[in-house]
Homo-oligomer: A and B are copies of this chain.
């Protein structure tokens, strides 16, 4: 609890890494919306394993089957449920796995929380794999937002301390179309080298993803608990491995003076009130101001590493050592980019569909 989220668009997420299947129910979608399934597949494929040389070797089609809420190529408006079968679930001896908790994972907390009854194989319900149906749900929301002129795109902002910079420009190809989604490809090469280097050292690296939403209209969201920041953050911190979320210039704002940080209103083309700067990331008082929404989230380095680490043995209750075997990304950030885009899309559609007369 809770695996369900949302006010106007509600999603219900389920599944374990090595169980029968994983999936999502999306309720509240506007009816009669024609989905471009190829585009959705292209989006979710970016999250799927295997796109990178150094990515996990687990090969799964990860193609969701839609069970309901979709008829004649269009959304029905009723709950849309989609299931992804777990096909490549190698049989493993998880007895050994439960004895020695993997550092950085939820092996111990999950065991306490679920009294030892949760499925430990591959991280079970805690697996990053559960973001596949979330990404699918978000791909649908992205299309609906696009039809209202709202474009969402994310890029790798930082990996192993190497930073990218840039923002979506009208007409230019967004990094989300690239295999390695950065603005500055030279920096991208450095990042990939850092990943490979960590990989060869049986280690892992983390990074930051930055997402933009362009075209989101002013006047949506609310003060306090319904603020866009609150809603986006509650969703982003649901993505496994996220440990920080910031909007606009975020933590950096705390080091600025008010005179620098305030985004001064200014008259723009078409007699419209715009802002001189966008330090607030498009949100003032929890409400969109028409500027691009900008948000970053920090991913910790992959917890599963082949290097030997200290841990405990829960059978003997003694200190022990562990090398995590198996197929693991040395950096999940590249595959996290479409997850972040999807997560943002779900939230912004939820906000956009808010009360009719309010």
With A25-B12, A358-B353 as known contacts, state yes or no: A226 contacts B112, CB within 8 Å: no
**Which residue of chain B lies nearest to A271 when distances are taken between CB atoms in the complex?**
B317
**A140 interface hit (Cβ, 8 Å):** no
Chain multiplicity (copies): 4
Which of these, B118, B203, B231, B258, contacts A234 with CB under 8 Å?
Answer: B231
Q: Quick one: which of A4-63 are within 8 Å of B by CB?
A: 4-5, 7-8, 10, 12-16, 19-23, 25, 27-33
Is A179 in the interface zone, CB < 8 Å from B? no
Evaluate contact between A108 and B284: CB separation under 8 angstroms: yes
Cβ of A78 within 8 Å of any chain B Cβ, yes or no, is yes
Q: Are A106 and B284 in contact (CB under 8 A)?
A: yes
Task: Decide: A224 near B158, CB < 8 A? Known: A108-B273, A258-B302.
Answer: no
Cross-chain contact of A16 among B78, B218, B289 (Cβ < 8 A): B78
Report the separation of the CA atoms of residues A263 and B19 in the bound assembly, to the nearest whole angstrom: 28
How many A residues touch B, CB cutoff 8 Å? 155
A76 contact from B117, B247, B304, Cβ within 8 A = B117
Q: Is the CB of B254 within 8 A of A208?
A: yes
**A16 / chain B contacts, CB cutoff of 8 Å:** 68-69, 71, 76, 78
Q: Which of A167-175, A182-190, A305-313 contacts B (4 or more CB under 8 A)?
A: A305-313
The residue in chain B whose Cβ has the minimal distance to the Cβ of A208 is B254
In whole angstroms, how far apart are the Cα atoms of A148 and B171 in the complex? 44
Knowing A66-B20, A243-B246 touch, does A253 contact B219 (C-beta < 8 A)?
no
Q: Is the CB of B312 within 8 A of A273?
A: yes
Q: Are A358 and B30 in contact (CB under 8 A)?
A: yes
A12–B79 touching, CB < 8 Å: yes
Q: A4-B25, A203-B259, A258-B302 provided; 20 other pairs, C-beta below 8 A?
A: A1-B358, A8-B355, A13-B79, A14-B67, A14-B68, A23-B81, A31-B114, A67-B83, A78-B124, A78-B223, A103-B264, A106-B287, A108-B273, A161-B255, A203-B257, A233-B233, A258-B301, A261-B301, A264-B309, A354-B356
* A214 contacts the other chain (CB 8 A): no
Question: Which B residues touch A283, using CB under 8 A?
Answer: 109
Q: A25-B25, A267-B318, A287-B112 are in contact. Are A226 and B106 (CB under 8 A)?
A: no
